[in-house]
Structure 1
Amino acid sequence: MGPTQINGLPAHALLVHVVVVLVPLTALLTVAAAFWPAVRHRLGIGLPLLALVMVISVPVTTNAGGWLLHRVPFTPLVLAHVRLGDDMLPWAIALFIAALAVWGLRFVEPLPARPAGTAAPGAPPDPGAAQPGSAAPEPGRTRVATLLAERRRAPAGHRQWVLLSAVVGVLAVVVAAGTVVQCYRVGDSGAHAVWTGRYSQQPLPRTGPAPG
């Protein structure tokens, strides 16, 4: 699944950059959208779509890493990196679910309170509402939608909204933090696996012209 080489180089070494960018970005936007409705409405469907791309990038990267595993020396540091990398996908999926939950808040958040029987500013007339001098309309879908909207403005609905938004916000913070920490652990172990014992702590003597 996914490329194993890009331009003659192991794809894993390049794909990890996609993961280390998308994971913190998705985590940051998920938390921001959970606590700021303006951010949530501005991002819209883009938030869960970004999280979906982030989730897909993880198995693509680990698959490329599996290909590379059979072409590098197998050391304890490489083994530690592989084990941590295998634990990245569940965290990514959890962050995707949290992003979906945050996006779903926009469909249940209370509407601004307004006097009964008045329309929102700029909204077209409600065809299901009774007009002056006309008979009461037949109950229909529009009337049901109006009643549901009024229910979302009720105090009880507001209390439920506060509780729901708090639960989703806590979920977003916990999952986002855990995913970012796991991403850091995977990247840190990979850096150790690549560079431990492969460079000098002191500058090496050079011969010939200096670079630049």
Structure 2
Amino acid sequence: MFDQINGLPVHVLVLHAAVVFVPLLAVGAVVYALVPRWRPRMAWALGLLAIAAPAATLVAKLSGTQLYNRLLGQGMSGPGKEILDDHMGFGTMTFWFTLALGVVSLVMVVLTWRREGNRLPMIGEVGGAVALIVLAAVSGYYVYKTGDSGATAVWGSY
């Protein structure tokens, strides 16, 4: 299912969705955390990104595993395999942190929906903001590392 479409690896076709949606989710989550007055206008977009980004990373991860297994079956080994092993590890971390960011984003949207001033009690505001900002930073870091290691695997280090 996640192997090929018209002879092209699905991974090559879908990875860019993760490259776009994860940073958009990260930026949206940080803005949602820090600018409460914008929450009513951006809640729907953050909610959609909270679903789309983890879904995109999951499809990229599953299709990448299919591609990796095909390459192993063709006898891939040595430094190329080591680079791809790192790439797959980064991709797995990207998925889990993006999923966590998506869940926390949805929780914040639900908790602040139609609340007075779109704010939680202070402990909720601070806790939610810290969680969103930390998860956004870590998700951004891992999507970068995944992309960088993938580019190195394909194009070499220049």
Report the TM-score range of the alignment, normalised by the length of the smaller protein: 0.7 to 0.9
- Offset of residue 108 of structure 1: 7.1
Specify the SS of the correspondent of 2:121: helix
Aligned partner (choices 112, 124, 137) of residue 106 of structure 1: 112
Coordinate RMSD, CA, aligned: 2.3
User: SS of 2:90's equivalent?
Assistant: helix
1:23 is aligned to 22
Q: How far apart are 1:111 and its partner, in Å?
A: 5.1
Bigger relative CO (Cα 8 Å, ≥ 6 apart): 2
Q: Does 1:192 align with 2:129?
A: no
What is the number of residues matched between the two proteins?
A: 151
8 Å CA contact 2:50–2:102 kept in 1: the answer is: yes
C-alpha separation in 1, matches of 2:155 and 2:45: 37
In the alignment, what sits opposite 2:61? 62
Residue 141 (structure 2) aligns with: 181
TM-score normalised per structure 1: 0.64
Report if aligned partners of 1:31, 1:169 keep a CA contact under 8 Å in 2: yes
| Residue matched to 1:166 | 126
1:84 alignment partner in structure 2: 90
4+ residue runs of structure 1 moved beyond 6 angstroms? Answer: none
**Structure 2 counterparts to residues 47-58 of structure 1, below 5 A:** 47-58=46-57
CA distance in 2, matches of 1:95, 1:29: 11
Bigger fraction of residues in helix: 2
Taking structure 2 as the reference length, what is the TM-score of the superposition?
Answer: 0.83
Structure 2: gaps (5+ residues): none
> Which has the higher Rg, Structure 1 or Structure 2?
1
**How far apart in 2 are the matches of 1:16 and 1:8?**
16
